[in-house]
Structure 1
Amino acid sequence: MQEPTVLAAGYFASYSTVGLLALVGVLFVAVAFGANRLLRPMVPTPEKLLTYECGVDPVGEGWAHTQVRYYVYAFLYVIFAVDSIFLFPWATVFAAPAFGAATLVEMFVFLGFLAIGLLYAWKKGVLSWM
């Protein structure tokens, strides 16, 4: 039987490999951005600082008002899209013999949280179009 220190050394060695790879990635990005900053020509002109919009010169101050409710609709869509992404794999795995009542209870807890969120949004009037 191996000593615990030998096992721990092998376990942390795999993490050091991942850490080294992450460090190399960060250094690569830093060197690329640094080289870009040093080697690029920098000649700012007023035309270069304008907002480019399909060849049309910008008019006005560029500030547009947006209804917040559209963001809420998008957020609700994302919530239910994630729900459906979670439900399909669960439905395919649920029939396996190793999964039983615990999996069913977990899914009903998850759906309960979603139902509470939907009920809250409905009570707040978020789901009405007007």
Structure 2
Amino acid sequence: MASVAAGYLPILLFLAVAVALSSAFVVLPIVASKFTGSAKPTPEKLTEYECGFPAFEDSRAQFDVRFYLIAILFIIFDLEAAFLYPWAVSLGGIGFAGWAGMMIFLIELAIGYAYCWKKGALEWE
């Protein structure tokens, strides 16, 4: 029984270190901000610093659905590129089955792209 408990000791030690570090990464910036004064907003701290002028509208305004469609398409084709590179590197080892699987994947992506194009998701006004 003692040897079983001793087997879990490294896991428990790792878990304790992980909890301590994650707690420190959460608590220490909050404490540091209290001491440095960043928790006390002034008009200068609340001014626009990214674009230099006040926003035209409320920041909680709804976006057109095309923004989200373009973002989803970007993620899909970014993932495609992430899958194509390891596939190309290991193509010699995976043979025809790997090649056929990737062709099916690319055909599915092309069908999805054609569907978005047909529905006008890529048209910008």
Please, what TM-score do these two structures have when normalized by structure 2? 0.63
Residue 85 (1) aligns with residue 82 (2): yes
Contact in 2 for aligned 1:52/1:58 (Cα 8 Å): no
RMSD: 3.6
Query: Which amino acid counterpart does residue 89 of structure 1 have in structure 2?
Result: P
Name stretches of at least 5 consecutive residues in structure 2 with no aligned partner: none
**Equivalences for 1:3-82 in 2 at 5 Å?**
10=7, 15-41=11-37, 42-53=39-50, 56=52, 58=54, 60-61=56-57, 67-82=64-79
Residue 114 (1) aligns with residue 109 (2): yes
Closer, same or farther: CA 43–73 of 1 in aligned 2, 3 Å: closer
Q: Which residue of 2 aligns with 1:126?
A: 121
Greater relative contact order structure (CA < 8 Å, 6+ sep):
2
Deviation at 1:43, TM superposition (A): 4.2
Partner SS state of residue 58, structure 1: coil
Closer, same or farther: CA 61–118 of 1 in aligned 2, 3 Å: closer
Q: Using the TM superposition, name which of 26-35 and 56-65 deviates more.
A: 56-65
% identical equivalent positions: 38
- Number of equivalent positions: 121
Name stretches of at least 5 consecutive residues in structure 1 with no aligned partner: none
Closer, same or farther: CA 38–126 of 1 in aligned 2, 3 Å: closer
Closer, same or farther: CA 23–58 of 1 in aligned 2, 3 Å: same
Please, what TM-score do these two structures have when normalized by structure 1? 0.61
Deviation at 1:93, TM superposition (A): 0.5
Structure showing the higher helix proportion among its residues = 2
Q: Which residue of 2 aligns with 1:95?
A: 92
* Structure 2: distance between partners of 1:126 and 1:60: 26
